[in-house]
């Protein structure tokens, strides 16, 4: 059915009942963005030929594992929000990745990003993370979203984020560290990360 669309660059297969990714090979030469959100996918599969992809949208499925991505070396955006991912893995080959949206999953540990030096946006909100860790090398990071986790150690904010000169936006609300600091929370973040322009939904007033 897709063989006639030899010049297709963007494909939307949103909110259907698709249970498996298949039959996309005819689009391999031109497809750069595909949206498969709101389906019944349980695996990332049969994307090997789509080496021109720069955007992959997989939100609101039932995917349990990050795999099947190794050949997508041109991928710049990966959105896999609202799935069942419990571990960050399978991203080693995605050295061009700039945006990773993986909120509303089951992550308990922040790791697996050793080779993703070009990340600019990292959204891990609404997971089960207990620590901010293993991201101090992401020198291009401008936005870090980690609201509504189990982050309790403010020292992690200082050790992992303070050295990221490009960072201008953080979301940390809804974590134990915010509740523990109370009214001092915002001031403490500003002192630890003076480069910020935005803390949660509020812009930082520049003196």
Summarised one tens digit per residue, pLDDT across range 67-93 is 999 999 999 999 999 999 999 999 999
In terms of domains, do 100 and 156 share one? Answer: yes
Cα dihedral 110→170→153→112 (10° resolution): 10
Domain check: are 47 and 107 in the same one? no
Q: What is the pTM of this model?
A: 0.95
Domain count, the chain: 2
Last residue of a domain, one of 84, 107, 128: 84
* Residue 193 domain-assigned (yes or no): yes
Q: Do 198 and 107 share a domain, yes or no?
A: yes
pLDDT, position 205: 75
CATH code of the domain covering residue 63: 3.80.10.10
**Quick one: CA dihedral 156, 159, 160, 163, positive or negative?**
positive
Averaged confidence pLDDT in the chain: 95
> Is residue 150 in some structural domain?
yes
What phi and psi values does residue 19 have, to the nearest 5 degrees?
A: -105, -10
Q: Are residues 177 and 128 in the same domain?
A: yes
CA angle 155, 140, 116 (to 5 degrees): 90
Containing structural domain, residue 184: 95-207
pLDDT, tens only, 101-153 = 999 999 999 999 999 999 999 999 999 999 999 999 999 999 999 999 999 99
Task: Judge if 9 and 48 occupy the same domain.
Answer: yes
Asked, for residue 207, whether it belongs to a domain, the answer is: yes
Q: Do 48 and 118 sit in the same domain of this protein?
A: no
Residue 90 lies in a domain: no
Whether residue 112 is found in the same domain as residue 137:
yes
Are residues 126 and 180 located together in one domain of the fold? yes
Q: Please tell me whether residues 75 and 117 are part of one structural domain.
A: no
- Cα maximum dimension of the chain: 60
Is 89 a member of any domain? no
Give the model's pLDDT for residue 206: 66
- Are 207 and 112 contained in the same domain? yes
pLDDT value for 8: 85
What is residue 114's predicted lDDT score, i.e. its pLDDT?
Answer: 96
If you ran DSSP here, which 8-state letter would residue 44 be given? Answer: -
The radius of gyration computed from the CA coordinates of the chain, to the nearest angstrom, equals 18
User: Where residue 7 falls among pLDDT bands split at 50, 70, 90?
Assistant: confident
37-52 pLDDT, tens digit each? 999 999 999 999 999 9
Same domain? For 80 and 167 the reply is: no
Do residues 185 and 100 share a domain? yes
Q: Could you give the C-alpha distances from 135 to 119, 161, 193, 198, in angstroms and in order?
A: 10, 8, 15, 19
């Amino acid at each position: 059915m897709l063989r006639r669309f030899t010049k297709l660059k963007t494909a939307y297969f949103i909110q259907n009942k698709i249970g498996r990714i298949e039959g996309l090979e005819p689009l391999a030469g031109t497809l750069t963005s595909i949206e498969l959100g709101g389906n019944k996918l349980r695996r990332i599969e049969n994307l090997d030929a789509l080496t021109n992809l720069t955007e992959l949208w997989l939100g609101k499925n039932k995917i349990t594992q990050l795999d099947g991505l190794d050949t997508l070396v041109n991928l710049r955006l990966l959105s896999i929000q609202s799935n069942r991912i419990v571990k960050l893995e399978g991203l080693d080959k995605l050295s061009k990745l700039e945006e990773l949206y993986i909120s509303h999953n089951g992550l308990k540990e922040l790791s697996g990003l050793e080779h993703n030096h070009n990340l600019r946006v990292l959204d891990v909100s609404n997971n089960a993370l207990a620590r901010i860790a293993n991201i101090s090398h992401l020198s291009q990071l401008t936005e870090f979203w980690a609201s509504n986790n189990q982050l309790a150690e403010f020292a992690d904010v200082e050790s992992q984020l303070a050295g990221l000169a490009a960072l201008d936006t953080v979301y940390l609300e809804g974590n134990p560290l915010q509740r523990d600091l109370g009214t001092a929370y915002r001031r403490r973040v500003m002192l630890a990360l003076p480069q910020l322009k935005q803390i949660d939904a509020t812009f930082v007033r520049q003196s």
